[in-house]
Amino acid sequence: MADIITLKTLCEELKIDPREARERLRAAASDAKASPELAKARKPRTPWQWVKGSAAEKEARKTLSAMK
């Protein structure tokens, strides 16, 4: 089974607020041209989580790193 990384883990690593992170990720996922992998991986009403090392996780990290 693949390793899963959650938004909570990313927020702890990057030392950012989870509420702001969710807002940023929702905005990024709604723009499929700018973040196609994030848009594909997003499923409404499910937790933010990605397979470790996936393209969607890399886009999420890039989006959240811009918050700092």
Instruction: Name 45's Cβ contacts closer than 8 Å, sequence gap at least 6.
Output: none
Cα–Cα distance measured from residue 8 to residue 47, given in angstroms and rounded to the nearest whole number: 10
Write the CB contacts of 48 (distance below 8 Å, at least 6 apart in sequence): 6, 7, 22, 25, 60
- pLDDT on residue 2: 79
Residue 54 lies in domain:
4-65
Q: How many domains does the chain have?
A: 1
- Give the pLDDT of residue 16: 96
pLDDT tens-digit readout, 6-37: 999 999 999 999 999 999 999 999 999 999 99
Express each pLDDT in 41-62 by its tens digit.
999 999 999 999 999 999 999 9
Q: Which amino acid is located at 32 in the chain? A: A
